[in-house]
Amino acid sequence: MSAQTSPGTSALDVRLPGIDPTLYLVTDSAQCASVNRSVAATVAEAVAGGAHVVQVRDKDVSDSEFLALTLEVLDAVETVRDREGIDRPVPVFVNDRVPVAAELNAAGHLVHVHVGQSDMGPALVREAIGTQPLIGLSAAIPEEFRIARETGVVDLVGIGPVYDTTTKKDAPGGIGPARLRDLAAEAGIPSVGIGGIDVARAPELRGTGVEGICVVSAICLAEDPRAAARALREAYGA
């Protein structure tokens, strides 16, 4: 995924062909459970509503449990794509669990990997999962973007938190839309904004240079995840 961009072709087209990262859902098992809904059911409804990138995240389960959860999500995504006639791919990322991703890919289930700055480095992730899966990376400062560009293996960066958030423990304060715009321009890699984004704030992120918005609680805690996804896309202007 490190091909050079040819004239008339955007970096997004090269790195994420056919993929729509406008609305990117990161799952939270505890939040889904708190509203009596499974992660897979939440994902299915969100994808039907327009969340066309999904990241499975659960820091509190074993690798075997996480693998089973990811398989449930993969099945939910394919079922809803068939049912709703969604032609474009809906990539499923796993958060950090590189061995799980490698095992799933070896078994024929295409999954991608998102890592943070304290997780396995992107170059090592690429060695572990091969050339086909995408690699996402959380980044927040110019030096992190520079390193990401130099690896040549990062396909998408998550920038944030854009707003203050309690979803992720020990998250720093929100950077705001203006700083997001600066960092998206600095990144040199397709990016999404993440952190504290909801329907009310999504319009503030139009024109910031990111390819989309990434949400957790705005969908996972929603009474109707499908309606929530539609509302978020509309608010963002997609």
- Residue 95: strand pairing partners: 114
Q: Are 90 and 54 in contact (CB under 8 A)?
A: yes
Is 58 annotated among the ligand-binding residues? yes
The predicted-structure confidence for 204-214, as pLDDT tens digits, reads as follows: 999 999 999 99
Is 216 annotated among the ligand-binding residues? yes
- What confidence score (pLDDT) does residue 170 get? 65
Give the DSSP H/E element, type plus range, for residue 76.
Answer: helix 63-84
What whole-number distance in Å separates Cα of residue 24 and Cα of residue 19? Answer: 11
- What confidence score (pLDDT) does residue 47 get? 98
Q: What integer is the mean pLDDT of 171-181?
A: 90
Give the domain 18-236 fold: TIM Barrel (3.20.20)
Is 119 annotated among the ligand-binding residues? yes
Is 228 a residue whose pLDDT tops 50? Answer: yes
The helix/strand/coil state of 54 is strand
Is 55 a residue whose pLDDT tops 80? Answer: yes
Is 13 a residue whose pLDDT tops 90? Answer: no
Tell me the pLDDT band of 96, cut-offs 50, 70 and 90: very high
What whole-number distance in Å separates Cα of residue 89 and Cα of residue 222? Answer: 24
The model's pTM is 0.93
Is 2 a residue whose pLDDT tops 60? Answer: no
What whole-number distance in Å separates Cα of residue 210 and Cα of residue 21? Answer: 10
- What confidence score (pLDDT) does residue 15 get? 76
Is 11 a residue whose pLDDT tops 70? Answer: no
What whole-number distance in Å separates Cα of residue 156 and Cα of residue 74? Answer: 20
Q: Are 175 and 160 in contact (CB under 8 A)?
A: yes
The predicted-structure confidence for 29-51, as pLDDT tens digits, reads as follows: 999 999 999 999 999 999 999 99
The predicted-structure confidence for 120-139, as pLDDT tens digits, reads as follows: 999 999 999 999 999 999 99
User: What tokens does 107 get?
Assistant: 């078994």
Is 36 annotated among the ligand-binding residues? no
- CA neighbor of 97 nearest in space, from 74, 123, 128: 128
- What confidence score (pLDDT) does residue 16 get? 81
- What confidence score (pLDDT) does residue 71 get? 98
The predicted-structure confidence for 109-122, as pLDDT tens digits, reads as follows: 999 999 999 999 99
The predicted-structure confidence for 58-95, as pLDDT tens digits, reads as follows: 999 999 999 999 999 999 999 999 999 999 999 999 99
Q: Which residues are catalytic?
A: 57, 138, 168
Is 10 a residue whose pLDDT tops 60? Answer: no
